[in-house]
Amino acid sequence: MLILLLAATARDAAAQSGIRDYQNHCAECHGLGGRGDGPTCLTIPMNPPPNDLTQMAKNNGGKFPFDEVVESVDGRKNIPSHARLQMPFWGTTLQKPGKEFTPESDAEVKKRIESMARYVESIQQK
Ligand code: HEC
């Protein structure tokens, strides 16, 4: 029982961190509801524009592409090709100051990105 409770608390904490991180780091471009209408992209038009994050499951045959979202938010795989020019590479941006790229910091970044991806998953439109 206690274990279940602790697990639920950990899950809630992760969900909270996903929402908070999304609001702090993503909403300016993608919009709070994920529709790609954040204030930054309305003042400075981006080409391509930020994705409508609520359509990712729909555009993937109804299945939310969790791993791809985590990878593309992290962004480090794209660095060599510079395939992505406008969205920050969150895998580097969110590193712990002073402890960048240590296993500890990397694990923390991974957790935060996964929590944000869960949040994005929660706002999918059918
Ligand atoms: C400075 C504006 C900006 C911010 C901040 C931003 N994005 Fe993006 N994002 C974009 C743009 C523009 C694209 C479209 C492709 C590109 O140019 O990178 C995009 C694309 C994406 C994609 C789709 C990538 C794909 O493979 O189709 C996802 C998922 C995404 N963003 C999630 C996030 C999350 C989560 C955050 C917060 C950690 C975030 N974005 C913060 C601008 C932004």
Q: What tens digit of pLDDT does each residue of 42-77 get?
A: 787 777 888 899 999 999 999 999 999 999 999 988
User: Atom 25 (ligand 1): residue with closest C-alpha?
Assistant: 72
Chain CA centroid to CA 10, Å? 19
Whole-number pLDDT of residue 101: 95
Report the distance separating Cα 61 and Cα 73, nearest Å.
20
Report the distance separating Cα 6 and Cα 18, nearest Å.
18
- Does ligand 1 have an atom closer than 6 angstroms to the CB of 94? no
What tokens does 101 get? 């790229």
Q: What tens digit of pLDDT does each residue of 78-115 get?
A: 766 656 668 889 999 999 999 999 999 999 999 999 99
Is the pLDDT score of 22 beyond 80? yes
Q: What tens digit of pLDDT does each residue of 26-36 get?
A: 999 999 999 99
The neighbour count for residue 109, using CB atoms within 10 Å, is: 21
- Does ligand 1 have an atom closer than 6 angstroms to the CB of 90? yes
